[in-house]
Amino acid sequence: MSTSEVFVLDLRDGADQPPPSPSGGVVVLDRADTLVEHAEVYLGLLSEEMVTAVVCVAVGEPARDDGPGGVALTAPSVLRNAAVLWVGDERGVDWAPGDAAPRPPERPGAALEDLVAALRVPELFDRVVELAEGRSVSPGVRLVSCAVDPAEEAAARAAAVRSLCADDQPVGEDFGAALVEAHVPSTRDGAVLAGRVHAVQLDVVRRLNHVTELARALGTPAALFGTRRPTEEIGKHVLWAGQAVENYRQVVVELLDRVDGHVQIGRPPVEDVLAMGVSPPVEAAGDQVAADLRRAVDAQLDAGAALPALAHELRLLSARTGPQGCTAALEAARLRGPLSLEMPEFPRWPLSLWTLPLVLSCCAVVAYLLGPGWAGWVGGALLAACWSGAGWLVLARRPRAEGEAGAVAAAPVALATFGAVAAVGVVGGALGALAQPSPFTSGWQVQAGVWSAALLSAAVVVLGWRSAVHQWRARLRLAAMHDAVVELTGLAEDAVAGQWRPLRRRRAIAAAADEVAAGLEEVATALRGAQEHFCAVPRGTTVDGHDRMMRPVPAELYAVVRGDVVEVCRCALEPAWPAATSALRTAPGVYEQRLNRLIDEYTGDIRRHGLFAAARADRDEAARDALMARVWAETPAAAQALRVGAGGEMTQLCRSGQLRYLSTSAEPGLLRFAPARLRRVVRDGGAHQGFAADLAVTWGAGGELIGALRLLPLRVESVRHDAGGGE
Amino acid sequence: MGAVREPERCRDVFGVLREVVVEDVGEFVTPGSVLEQRLVHVDGALFVRKYVSRAAGARDPRRYDLLDREVRAGTRLGQVFKRLYPRELARLAAYNLDVEEPFALLHAYHGEPAIGPASRFAEDERRRFEQELFRALVLTAAAGVVHGAVGMEAVRWQEGRLQLVDFEHALRVGDPRWDASSPDGAGRTGARADPRDDVWDAARLLRRVSLGPHADGPVLDRARDPERLRVLLDPVFDNPVELRPRAAEVLAALRGDPSLPPTTDPEAGLGPGRALFDQVSAAKGGPPSPPPARPPRRGRRGLRLFSLLAVAVLTATAPFGKGARR
């Protein structure tokens, strides 16, 4: 059974107590002279079903009564089948089997600590158990740490916190654009007005169209000769159309006022707005909004956005996407009125007075050509009558606001103008023919002259009326009224489509953005507050036993640390998302508490497992791989440590005088190991690709040690198993 | 150790002299106040005591002016609104400026400084805040008081209720500006204090509440302001004080409550006294007479016409004169 977790129990000087319910692999650190005393503890651990194996690391000299007869270690019988690693001396000696001259260690330091750290890696623990189970062995180590310099790590953390809390890092201006586009469409879907507004709109359009038709009919003969003449009723229809337009404006103002009031202050209630004939607001998908917003925020954080800047963008998003009301539209609609359609005055003389000389001439010519005699008088009188009748007719049909001018009122005017002038023309022509007869004697010449005068007169009458109608139509502001209706409809539809229909979605987005912004602000403030202890260098932490020279923080390290800090902030922000989904607010201080707890967890995690194996490394594998590649490249000793064989020189954890306890005949066990991340790195390139395929290397999921572990069995006579204790 | 109880002589907002027993409760701080403050008990009720200690006054004599402004504004507001004093404004109870450590007693404020809860306002709370803020300004304008330092530090908030406090930079409408008192000169374009000075400050505050503290930098970048704020605030920011909308207009746009509590004109009661003063002054020879009024323009125009006519007559008659001499 493979071990998933390794627990270290330090029994030296009573440092630790056995856990109540141990599980996984257990490394027991004990003093060599107290193994038998702790037999009960070992028995308890070995009999625990959840414990996969026990590795005992016995440290120190044997008990005085054991030596000097050749017994190095007295172990309780309960450990007979367990793996016992005897560390006669924590400093050890640099020694290779077969080499008779051990040397003081080149790098005296924490060889025992490194050994225990290596045993914490489950894969390595299992291999040690496999090789040393039922034996007592002396470990020799050659280890190189790929851990990051704590000072550099602290500097990177400080830089990451500064970057995340900076006030002057802008965020892309299109932040949230996709979110808004997805939830607040810019189309006019659902903006179609119905109910009261629509009814009024239809009425006004119908009335304006009717006026248009009447105005068009004015230019037709029906306007002069019909029984239901447009000239009779166009005045009142123009007035009614104007009133209808104003009525529509007032209804639109009422609609906008209600929409704006509800959006701004929640009054009037929704039902009152719906009563105006608009569709109800579409429902908001709070979970979808929160999910989309989360994606946008995560993308910004990954892109390097600072928390305050991101919070500001969210505030802007909230303010810009939240319900805006339609105050401007309402104001525009109010300023548009009052609207009215004026009835323009129809030309006072539909047949212009400039036609009077023509009337005179035509009548005179006809009377002259047909004269002298009764034919001239009769012909001229007929034409004069036609002219008078035409003048009277167009004057009588002249449309006004209250109806036609009327036949009775028009008769004296027509007779006084057209009739009188025509009569003068007839008399003049007839008298002229008496004084000097016409030179045109042939019949066709006379007929041509008469007909020309008659046709000319008719044409002038027709064109004169139509011209008057055209002039009048040009002054009728029907197009302006249509424009006003279109504009008012546009204002209403824009307000409905842009503000009313997506009201709940706008509110959902604004509430979610506000919540997340508040969370980010709180997290940023808490992060600034925690900077001092979060970014402090742990006391007494050195790498490989000596301080490295200070240098700028490597980019790979900064990327890893920043990613971790971002991840911590992201986790601290976690309560924002359910709150955003339900548009509820998180209590003040929640984010701060979470952040402080997460920072403690993270620093503890780093302290226990190292930066490479920290639990929050799931999002930034690539960054950690890059950092590992850099460390590997900067640490040539690591490759050498991985190449060492069982007979190579290692730091054997005993004194030179204790080497005699070690068996010279038994085959030593050799473990070469490295973090699995290194395998990925060397497999992808470089001069050490062979390591990746080396089956003899144990690749541990965690740990930051690279190197080799030699397990040299003790002579059989050097180990005594005490029958007491746990037996 | 029991709290210190001290009798104090002071005047209420109408100038009536009273003696009260003040019991110190503890320290009190508001972000918008420069003056020292203590919470005190007077007759079992809680008050804020603003004062200038001898040491602070020696260190910064300007504090006496600040307290004076607080008292002037407080008395004015108290006299205008009398019993139906609006909850939106801090209320002065008593003061004494004639002692070594002058002080003002204000009724305990409501709520907490808005700077805390404002960052977590929901939409409806924000709208409520906006309405309450401009309603407070409508009230100060009605009393003829310009707060002079409307900002996040000067407002308090409690369950949808706002209170405008710390009138230490206040002026009466029409007073000459005291530039040193203005925390921010922007938006104050006239020579005399105008209620619309406060409208500009309130508009800034409103932006801050909507867009967050980042939006309230030294230079207002309004390019990305939402439509609602642009419609509402552009007339405020884009116009000089004379053309700026009044608080009541902004409140109407915000659909706030425009009603005012009954007000009294404190000057109205002084009319008979002033008339009597004028009468007595006249009897004693009167106050220094004002400079003579400028002659009416009509008389001046008549003089000009007369002069022109005279010149014309002289010019016309000159040849006859010459001819006569010949």
Q: DSSP letters along B21-85, please? A: EEEEEEE---TT--SEEEEEEETTEEEEEEE--HHHHHH-THHHHHHHHHHHHHHHHHHHHTTS-
Q: Which positions in chain A touch B215 (Cβ < 8 Å)?
A: 312, 315-316
Of B131, B212, B228, the CB nearest to A325: B228
What 8-state DSSP symbol labels residue A103?
B
Taking a C-beta distance cutoff of 8 angstroms, is the pair A417, A356 a contact? yes
State how far the Cα of A591 lies from the Cα of A522, in Å rounded to an integer: 6
- Find the range with the poorest average confidence among A53-67, A488-502, B45-59, B201-215: A53-67
Confidence of residue B312 (pLDDT cuts 50, 70, 90): low
Interface contact flag, B214 A514, Cβ < 8 Å: no
Interface contact flag, B253 A511, Cβ < 8 Å: no
Residue A646 backbone phi and psi in degrees, to 5: -65, -25
Number of domains into which chain B is organized? 1
Interface contact flag, A173 B229, Cβ < 8 Å: no
Of A265, A308, A324, the CB nearest to B255: A265
Residue A327 touches partner B, C-beta closer than 8 Å: yes
CA neighbor of A27 nearest in space, from A142, A131, A115, A147: A115
Q: Which positions in chain B touch A312 (Cβ < 8 Å)?
A: 211-212, 214-215
CA-based nearest residue in chain B for residue A268: B255
Looking at CA atoms only, how far is residue A582 from chain B in angstroms?
A: 13
Interface contact flag, B255 A312, Cβ < 8 Å: no
- Find the range with the poorest average confidence among A269-273, A715-719, B290-294, B314-318: B290-294
DSSP SS3 for A219: coil
Q: Residues 237 to 266 of B: which have CB under 8 A from any A CB?
A: 253-255
pLDDT of residue A58 exceeding 70: yes
Q: Looking at residue B321, what is its pLDDT?
A: 46
Q: DSSP letters along A175-188, please? A: TTHHHHHHHS-SS-
Interface contact flag, A264 B127, Cβ < 8 Å: yes
Residue A26 backbone phi and psi in degrees, to 5: -125, 125
Taking a C-beta distance cutoff of 8 angstroms, is the pair A457, A386 a contact? yes
- Find the range with the poorest average confidence among A148-157, A178-187, B153-162, B244-253: A178-187
- Find the range with the poorest average confidence among A113-127, A564-578, B285-299: B285-299
CA neighbor of B259 nearest in space, from B74, B131, B114: B131
Taking a C-beta distance cutoff of 8 angstroms, is the pair A315, B212 a contact? yes
Q: Looking at residue A540, what is its pLDDT?
A: 59
Task: Give mean pLDDT, residues B26-41.
Answer: 94
Q: Looking at residue B212, what is its pLDDT?
A: 86
**Token pair of A98, please?**
């077969």
Task: State the amino acid at position A642 in one-letter form.
Answer: L
Taking a C-beta distance cutoff of 8 angstroms, is the pair A204, A237 a contact? no
Task: Give mean pLDDT, residues A645-650.
Answer: 85
Confidence of residue B237 (pLDDT cuts 50, 70, 90): very high
Exposed e or buried b for every residue in A490-512, given b needs 16+ CB within 10 A? ebbbbbbbbbbbbbbbbbbbbbb
Interface contact flag, B231 A327, Cβ < 8 Å: yes
Task: Give mean pLDDT, residues A81-108.
Answer: 84
pLDDT digits 0-9 by tens, A218-267: 988 888 888 888 898 899 999 999 999 999 999 999 999 999 999 988 88
Of B124, B226, B255, the CB nearest to A319: B226
Residue A726 touches partner B, C-beta closer than 8 Å: no
Percentage of chain B beyond pLDDT 70 is 82
Q: Using DSSP bridges, classify how beta strands B145-146 and B171-172 pair: parallel, antiparallel or unpaired.
A: antiparallel
pLDDT digits 0-9 by tens, A131-144: 888 888 999 988 88
pLDDT of residue B323 exceeding 50: no
Residue B112 touches partner A, C-beta closer than 8 Å: no
pLDDT of residue A301 exceeding 80: yes
pLDDT of residue A605 exceeding 60: yes
DSSP SS3 for A391: helix
Residue A15 touches partner B, C-beta closer than 8 Å: no
Residue where the block lists tokens 């440092």? A15
Residue B103 backbone phi and psi in degrees, to 5: -150, 165
Of A308, A316, A518, the CB nearest to B211: A316
- Find the range with the poorest average confidence among A18-32, A120-134, A482-496, B76-90: A18-32
Residue A517 touches partner B, C-beta closer than 8 Å: yes
Residue where the block lists tokens 């915000």? B254
Q: Looking at residue A551, what is its pLDDT?
A: 74
Confidence of residue B78 (pLDDT cuts 50, 70, 90): very high
Q: Looking at residue B299, what is its pLDDT?
A: 46
pLDDT digits 0-9 by tens, A658-679: 888 888 888 888 888 888 888 8
Looking at CA atoms only, how far is residue B123 from chain A in angstroms?
A: 7
Provide Rg for chain B, Cα atoms: 28
Q: Which positions in chain B touch A171 (Cβ < 8 Å)?
A: none
Residue A323 touches partner B, C-beta closer than 8 Å: yes
Confidence of residue B291 (pLDDT cuts 50, 70, 90): low
Task: Give mean pLDDT, residues B279-307.
Answer: 61
Residue where the block lists tokens 């240098």? A551
Q: Which segment, A9-23, A659-673, B7-21, B174-188, is predicted with the most confidence on average?
A: B7-21
- DSSP lists the bridge partners of residue A671 as A709
Looking at CA atoms only, how far is residue A460 from chain B in angstroms?
A: 58
Percentage of chain A beyond pLDDT 90 is 37
Q: Looking at residue A550, what is its pLDDT?
A: 65
Q: Looking at residue A543, what is its pLDDT?
A: 47
pLDDT of residue B262 exceeding 80: yes
Interface contact flag, A308 B211, Cβ < 8 Å: no
In a domain, B52, yes or no: yes
Task: State the amino acid at position A686 in one-letter form.
Answer: G
Give the mutation candidate from A174, A257, A318 for the B interface (greatest B CB count, under 10 A): A318
Confidence of residue B1 (pLDDT cuts 50, 70, 90): very low
Q: Looking at residue A41, what is its pLDDT?
A: 87
Exposed e or buried b for every residue in A48-72, given b needs 16+ CB within 10 A? beebbbbbbbbbbbbbeebeeeebb
Residue B326 touches partner A, C-beta closer than 8 Å: no
In a domain, B310, yes or no: no
Count CB-CB contacts under 10 A for residue B98: 9
Interface contact flag, A315 B214, Cβ < 8 Å: yes
Residue where the block lists tokens 């009215």? A340
Q: Which positions in chain A touch B212 (Cβ < 8 Å)?
A: 311-312, 315-316, 517, 521
Interface contact flag, A266 B124, Cβ < 8 Å: yes
**Token pair of A249, please?**
């404006």
pLDDT of residue A709 exceeding 60: yes
Interface contact flag, A315 B210, Cβ < 8 Å: yes
- Find the range with the poorest average confidence among A240-254, B58-72, B123-137, B291-305: B291-305
Residue A202 touches partner B, C-beta closer than 8 Å: no
CA-based nearest residue in chain A for residue B117: A588
CATH of the domain at B100: 1.10.510.10
Residue A521 touches partner B, C-beta closer than 8 Å: yes
Interface contact flag, B231 A266, Cβ < 8 Å: no
Confidence of residue B186 (pLDDT cuts 50, 70, 90): low
Q: Looking at residue A70, what is its pLDDT?
A: 67
Taking a C-beta distance cutoff of 8 angstroms, is the pair B22, B5 a contact? yes
CA-based nearest residue in chain B for residue A518: B120
Q: Which positions in chain B touch A324 (Cβ < 8 Å)?
A: 226-228
Task: State the amino acid at position A280 in one-letter form.
Answer: P
Q: Looking at residue B183, what is its pLDDT?
A: 43
State how far the Cα of B223 lies from the Cα of A549, in Å rounded to an integer: 49
Between CA B222 and CA B102, with CA B33 as vertex, the angle to 5 degrees is 150
Interface contact flag, A514 B127, Cβ < 8 Å: no
- DSSP lists the bridge partners of residue B50 as B37, B104
pLDDT of residue A619 exceeding 80: no
More confident residue, B2 or A560: A560
Residue A310 touches partner B, C-beta closer than 8 Å: no
Q: Looking at residue B101, what is its pLDDT?
A: 94
Q: Looking at residue B290, what is its pLDDT?
A: 54
Q: Looking at residue B180, what is its pLDDT?
A: 42
Q: Is A670 left (phi over 0), alpha (psi -120 to 50) or beta?
A: beta
Give the mutation candidate from A184, A320, A591 for the B interface (greatest B CB count, under 10 A): A320
Range of B163's domain?
A: 5-265
Q: Looking at residue A546, what is its pLDDT?
A: 47
Listed in sequence order, the DSSP H helices in A172-265 are 177-183, 195-217, 222-225, 230-265
State how far the Cα of B277 lies from the Cα of B282, in Å rounded to an integer: 8
pLDDT digits 0-9 by tens, A332-355: 999 998 999 989 999 989 888 899
- DSSP lists the bridge partners of residue A143 as A707
Q: Looking at residue A616, what is its pLDDT?
A: 57
Taking a C-beta distance cutoff of 8 angstroms, is the pair A712, A663 a contact? yes
pLDDT digits 0-9 by tens, A309-318: 999 899 999 9
Of A265, A319, A327, the CB nearest to B210: A319
Taking a C-beta distance cutoff of 8 angstroms, is the pair B148, B170 a contact? yes
Taking a C-beta distance cutoff of 8 angstroms, is the pair A711, A139 a contact? yes
- Find the range with the poorest average confidence among A295-299, A410-414, A536-540: A536-540
pLDDT digits 0-9 by tens, B141-153: 999 999 999 999 9
Q: Looking at residue A117, what is its pLDDT?
A: 87
Looking at CA atoms only, how far is residue A254 from chain B in angstroms?
A: 15
Residue A311 touches partner B, C-beta closer than 8 Å: yes
State how far the Cα of A46 lies from the Cα of A90, in Å rounded to an integer: 26
Give the mutation candidate from B115, B123, B126, B257 for the A interface (greatest A CB count, under 10 A): B123
Between CA A409 and CA A414, with CA A411 as vertex, the angle to 5 degrees is 120
More confident residue, A165 or A537: A165
Q: Looking at residue A531, what is its pLDDT?
A: 85
Residue B224 touches partner A, C-beta closer than 8 Å: yes
Task: Give mean pLDDT, residues B13-39.
Answer: 93
State how far the Cα of A418 lies from the Cα of A352, in Å rounded to an integer: 10
Interface contact flag, B226 A510, Cβ < 8 Å: no
In a domain, B43, yes or no: yes
**Token pair of B290, please?**
């004002």
CA neighbor of A251 nearest in space, from A206, A211, A202, A216: A202
In a domain, B318, yes or no: no
Angle between helices A590-609 and A555-572 (to 10 degrees): 140
Residue A136 backbone phi and psi in degrees, to 5: -110, 125
pLDDT of residue A17 exceeding 80: no
pLDDT of residue A67 exceeding 80: no
pLDDT digits 0-9 by tens, A387-414: 999 999 999 999 988 888 888 989 999 9
Task: Give mean pLDDT, residues A21-48.
Answer: 86
Residue B232 touches partner A, C-beta closer than 8 Å: yes
Of B119, B123, B228, the CB nearest to A511: B123
In a domain, B102, yes or no: yes
The distance from CA A708 to its chain's CA centroid, rounded to whole angstroms, is: 50
Task: Give mean pLDDT, residues B42-49.
Answer: 93
CA-based nearest residue in chain A for residue B208: A315
